[in-house]
Structure 1
């Protein structure tokens, strides 16, 4: 129940729902506070959420804004900006995603006939005079021979420093342009500096509030594609998904307020600042959505549709707003938003629900809170929360989550290399408004830790590098010098246990189930520094195929190492492309990048960057992994040093039958599966 004494600040309210045509503001009598509340400091609450009134939401938000500049921030807060992944047999590959039917944005989309590339004019080989916008979409058509020809360049955004990602849903192409970087409180460096110390009621909002753009293009005829609707939303994009023809946008907004007098920090000045903030119209402190093609602006949400922590009180607050905006792809003017006045690090989405998560660091105690929002045919609502120990690591956090048969399975970590790690698998079930833990691993019955125990220190000194769920199994990779692959049996959700483990050199940073018996690992080969024997393998990107048909004794069938190279698939699984061409035959591609030196004299070394696409086949009957060959980037240019420097992080590929389309920067290199090195490009 919301604490009744959280009514200390009266404020103006706004009753403007997203998608509505009328905007109405109600004014409440403002009663100035006589003394400052004894604020506790900004912190992340692990309590469940509660839907509150406009007045209660306003108070909690303003408390957070005030504490941002006048109270110590809790420095213990630290932030970091596919259950069924076996592809069905199709003629072309699509974006590699975590969950089936939960679509994810990426810089390349393909429908079998047209290829769409999120392009940046800085990477053009020849400057485009007639396209002054930095971001655009290249549309290429596949010819009868399999070659590609450019048919349209579609401008999308004037924003210079942003990342563009795409969705392709039937006749609609969605472009999302957002600023990269951290959005959370991690620190105050992300907050706009105060620019004035006036008392004017017009100076509350800084002029450069972060925004991101969403464009909807009609591609019924791709050659005539045009932007039909375009929106900007205040704040920073956290993540997005498309489920059943609906786009879900999760964003974070932190209001900037510049009406504080910071000339001194005495109690009287702080009280005046507190009173001035209390009188501020809430419309200045919440995000807006603007339809840029019609220049119509409205509040992103109705402040009566907001949630705050049940533990909120007069002395607590948070100065950022997480919003979940639901947009119909058939009619983007139909959109609505739920807001939560709390900290959110990221999301995991299943077909049925969207989960947000964040972590609370308090001395040596680390706890994370998960909030669940349920989908239905018309809307979505907050339904439950749960708290678990630990955090979600540094890489591919969403893969530590999986919803399966009404249970949420989550893997967390705590500790460090010096004092030891504690890795846990949690199984949660919704009971009313709570996500209740029904099991943990390790536990009193199954005490074996996840991660090897150091024989000298007696603690687990391995961190988690990869997690992947597949039906009622979980695969976990920990690493320090060797790669233990753990197979966890979740057949009985209330009694999980480690069924088997395997140690191999190096590590896998991404795991991909190929079938019920085969698991693919992508990572790095790492020499054992403690070994007295000469290393047999050079460090570099590593592809491994594991046999997990016997979960009690997983084995590595084969591996391939690319010396001195790395693959962006370690950090972004969308860089991988998969295609099942026969019941037993799976093809996949993986981009690689490495730097090579030429010359004999160290004083005259020249370094060149090599980008290539490695191609593999996996036969599920013979359980064989075969490296087919590579498609490399080649330019027909007199001076390669005048070319744009394009890193391989955004390299992608589309596989269609025996055709390969390797996307590097704004361009594509085309080749056949049988002869990948004989490619044509840039197209």
Structure 2
């Protein structure tokens, strides 16, 4: 069986400046059609494949006219290479941008005058009534109508071509020496994250399809199969004293006629499990949207979701409910429009929903919800705030001249990307938007962000790391409490992208990759002057970095192989076996890979490579483990052999990495690939017992010898 690993980058398209270049432009035989639509107060940007004259924006060679043909005073700006034109300061209305033949620095024979239609629409900046809310979403609908029902055109005489003080360091305090049971591998000490399998030291709670399985850890007996409801599939579990907290997203049908419609709802069910064999539902609360994250800080639970209402229905029906709702049991309550907050520089037709509740008395305490209109994204939480990093990608049309440009420009797009960061201050159940800022590039995940001594540190990748025109570069920005940039390290590892990040005290560690794995050590002690202290290049890359002590990190990722294939101008990178790297950063200026362990061949994988909560830690013995499925390479090219699935435990210290237990269940005769239900999801310990939990069963082992003891099938 072939098992190929594909490295992909998720791309979120911003609708603010211009949407979907490939949809906005198409080629007829002698005519190129285009249409630009922007919000009032924002600029329309386009890329030319030939340089323009520097004075073309002032001498009348490029003009903007209104529907009456009158020249309007727009702000026209060229970049340093005179290939990027930005049009600004236009009020709401329709316009035509004219680029005359003499605007170009060179005058090819096929150069023709071009007329490009622009439309500027008014953007709602405050919400007071439902009409304001409808106007907000209708503006985005207008942009999408432009994208899919293009009506503008570039008309030419013949032919033209148009191509637009807490720290993220986890010291394992919840599983510190002397602790009797394992805990979730949370990013920030003291802030709990929901997981799919947890233990309170007496029972194991795990999710299997739509059921919560409760197992007595000592006797390994099934105590309860708990079903929250029909067609409800929980995704997050937490414990707070005798309270089991269950988070999930469900779908509610809102109407059948004249068309079917539904919406997603994030809900939290609270169960009293003092008697685990008979859980009692205490309360169920929720709000609209798909659940992104749950966090618990002390007695306070926070739920963050994103919701995009069905605003497309405005095309057919003016009476569309666009307000989000909250839920308390069977009670549904629509949020008043004047309680919906608009995010500064909002750039998406969606809501960010944030709710909080004091779980010390969940039966009677208030479920408080704040709704923010305009964005969603990666989330990081400190003790003071929730941070949302929302990526904005602006696409520009490319204006070409000459018949030769037709083919290439049809697939060419220009883009610049940036991330808007929103700071939502939290104080118990009080939630307030307190600041917003911007940085270049996009964040990989929550570990790309960190709050330390009042400053925010954020690592980003800007540009594209793949293809023949790779132009990526990586940055580390430091922002103050108001999210204003105070320091930065720019332009690291050109042509690569960030694969993992970790912040430990005053140091930041970044792993970038394309063909080799550079580990950067960055000193952020002076927030206004961060600097790279050292760099290490080794084969492979790390998806996840975990602190072992102040001077050592464990990197978990892949070994790689670089090959040149016939007909390819760029080397191809293939993942091989899973790789563990022990990094010694005692000398910050000279980081070293102290030891590397390669597990299996290409196709070998572990959920810990994309889900940090799959990492098992037992600090009493310096044990680190993870679920794993192993494949081996064969003599036949691209043919892999399934070896088995299970888990592995390693002792990891400053001295090195040592395999303690290989708990792989070998492949049965004729078995070519793993059974998804038999793949281990989480590893736990309770006192001196060790447990491997899959969707099929839980298996117990002696925590000292790792000899198998019992097995309970679900």
Secondary structure of the 1:676 match is: coil
Cα drift, residue 538 of structure 1: 9.7
Q: Pick the aligned partner of 1:111 from 190, 200, 203.
A: 200
Separation of aligned partners in 2, 1:401 and 1:302: 33
Aligned-pair Cα RMSD in Å: 3.8
- From 429, 440, 448, the equivalent of 1:400 is 448
8 Å CA contact 2:354, 2:370 repeated in 1: yes
Contact 1:42–1:73, Cα closer than 8 Å, also in 2: no
1:476 alignment partner, one of 510, 533, 553? 510
Alpha carbons of structure 1 residues 51 and 427: separation in structure 2 relative to 1, 3 Å: farther
Tell me by how many angstroms 1:237 deviates: 1.6
TM-superposed CA distance for 1:346, in Å, is 2.4
The question of 1:331 aligning with 2:362 is answered yes
| 2:246 equivalent in structure 1 | 175
Question: Residue 576 in 1 paired to residue 597 in 2?
Answer: no
Q: How far is 1:327 from its partner?
A: 2.5
Aligned counterparts of 1:253 and 1:538: Cα–Cα separation in 2: 36
Change in 2 beyond 3 A, CA 1:321/1:559: same
Deviation at 1:481, TM superposition (A): 2.2
Instruction: Give the 5 Å matches for 1:332-411.
Output: 334-363=366-395, 364-393=415-444, 397-411=445-459
1:427 aligns with 2:478: yes
Structure 1's 320 and 73: CA in aligned 2 closer, same or farther, altered over 3 A? farther
Alignment equivalent of 1:594, drawn from 623, 630, 655: 630
Give per-residue Cα distances to partners, 1:9-59, cap 9 Å, x unaligned: xxxxxxxxxxxxxxxxxxxxxxxxxxx97599999x9xxx98753458525
Residues 92, 119 of structure 2: 8 Å contact kept = no
Find the aligned partners of 2:418 and 2:575 in 1 and give their Cα distance.
39
- Report how many residues are paired: 545
Q: Does 1:246 align with 2:288?
A: no
Q: Which moved more, 1:565-574 or 1:242-251?
A: 242-251
**Pair 1:559-2:596 in alignment:** yes
- Are 1:492 and 2:526 an aligned pair? yes
Offset of 1:590 from its aligned partner? Answer: 1.2
Give the whole-Å Cα distance in 1 for the aligned partners of 2:474 and 2:512: 10
> Residues of 1 paired with 2:309 and 2:575: CA distance?
50
Q: CA–CA distance in 2 between the matches of 1:615 and 1:372?
A: 39
Q: Residue 332 of structure 2 aligns with which residue?
A: 297
- In structure 2, the partner of 1:148 is 220
Partners of 1:388 and 1:597 lie apart in 2 by: 43
How far does residue 647 in structure 1 lie from its aligned partner after superposition? 6.8
The reply to whether residue 660 of structure 1 matches residue 690 of structure 2 is: yes
C-alpha spacing 1:567/1:259, structure 2 compared with 1 (3 Å) = closer
Measured after TM superposition, the shift of residue 618 of structure 1 is: 2.1
Larger-gyration structure (1/2): 2
In structure 2, relative to structure 1, the CA distance for the partners of 1:479 and 1:42 (3 Å cut) is farther
The Cα offsets for residues 583-638 of structure 1, whole Å up to 9 and x where unpaired, read as xx41111111134699x999xx9975721111011234xx2221112123489x99
**2:702 counterpart residue number:** 672
Q: Shift of residue 172 of structure 1?
A: 1.1
Q: Which residue does 1:127 correspond to in 2?
A: none
How far apart are residue 240 of structure 1 and its match? Answer: 2.0
Q: In structure 2, do the counterparts of structure 1 residues 54 and 508 end up closer, same or farther at CA, with 3 Å as the change threshold?
A: same
Q: Distance in 2 between matches of 1:97 and 1:437?
A: 27
**1:85 equivalenced with 2:170 (yes/no):** yes
SS at match of 1:399: helix
Q: Please list, as runs of the form range in 1=range in 2, the aligned pairs for 1:125-204 lying within 5 A after superposition.
A: 135-143=210-218, 147-159=219-231, 162=233, 164-178=235-249
Aligned equivalents of 1:589 and 1:681: distance in 2? 20
Instruction: Check the 8 A contact 2:416/2:463 in 1, yes or no.
Output: no
- Distance in 1, matches of 2:673 and 2:626, equals 27
* Structure 2 counterpart of 1:32: none
CA contact (8 A) 2:548 2:653 kept: no
Task: State the Cα distance separating 1:289 from its structure 2 match.
Answer: 3.1
Offset at residue 507 of structure 1 (A): 1.0
Q: Secondary structure at the match of 1:569?
A: helix
Measured in 2, the distance between the counterparts of 1:243 and 1:255 equals 30
Shift of 1:476: 0.5
Cα distance change on mapping 1:338 and 1:289 into 2, 3 Å: closer
In the alignment, which residue of structure 1 is the partner of 2:16? none
Distance 1:523 1:607, change over 3 A: closer
What TM-score do the two structures reach when normalised by structure 2? 0.69
Q: Which runs of 5+ in 1 are unaligned?
A: 7-35, 76-81, 121-134, 181-191, 197-202, 263-275, 443-448, 452-459, 532-536
Greater Cα shift, 552-561 or 58-67? 58-67
Inter-CA distance 118–291: structure 2 relative to 1 (3 Å threshold):
same
Q: Could you give the per-residue CA deviations for residues 75-100 of structure 1, whole angstroms, max 9, x where no partner exists? A: 9xxxxxx6121213223221001101
Counterpart secondary structure, 1:213: strand
TM-fit CA distance, 1:328: 2.6
Instruction: Report the alpha carbon displacement of residue 421 of structure 1 after superposing the two structures with TM.
Output: 1.6
Following the alignment from structure 2 to structure 1, what is the Cα–Cα distance between the partners of residues 351 and 119?
17
Is the contact made by 2:455 and 2:478 (CA closer than 8 Å) also made in structure 1? yes
Cα offset for 1:323?
Answer: 1.0
Instruction: Select the structure that is richer in strand.
Output: 2
Which whole-Å CA distance do the structure 2 matches of 1:487 and 1:616 have between them?
25
Deviation at 1:644, TM superposition (A): 6.0
Please name the residue that 2:282 is paired with: 228
User: 1:89-104 counterparts in 2 under 5 A?
Assistant: 89=176, 90-104=179-193
Counterpart CA distance in 2 for 1:209 and 1:502 is 48
SS at match of 1:100: coil
The 2-side partners of 1:347 and 1:538 are apart by 29
Q: Which of 502, 507, 523 pairs up with 2:557? A: 523
What is the aligned partner in structure 2 of residue 545 from structure 1?
A: 582
Partner of 1:199: none
Q: Hey, what does 2:104 align to over in structure 1? A: none
Q: Indicate if the aligned counterparts of 1:246 and 1:327 stay in contact, CA closer than 8 A.
A: yes
Residue matched to 1:22: none
For 2:302 and 2:443, the matched residues in 1 are separated by 22
Normalising by structure 1, what TM-score? 0.72
1:152 CA drift (Å): 1.4
Structure 2 runs not aligned, ≥5 long = 1-38, 41-90, 95-117, 151-166, 396-414, 566-573
Distance 1:486 1:178, change over 3 A: same
Seen in structure 2, the aligned counterparts of structure 1 residues 258 and 627 have a Cα distance that, compared at 3 Å, is closer
Distance 1:669 1:104, change over 3 A: same
Is residue 646 from structure 1 mapped to residue 677 from structure 2 by the alignment? yes
Paired with 1:672 and 1:489, the residues of 2 have a C-alpha distance of 43
Does structure 1 conserve the Cα–Cα contact (< 8 Å) formed by 2:285 and 2:327?
yes
Contact 2:246 2:269 in 1 (8 A): yes
Distance 1:473 1:156 in 2: 44
Higher relative contact order structure (alpha carbons within 8 Å, sequence separation ≥ 6): 1
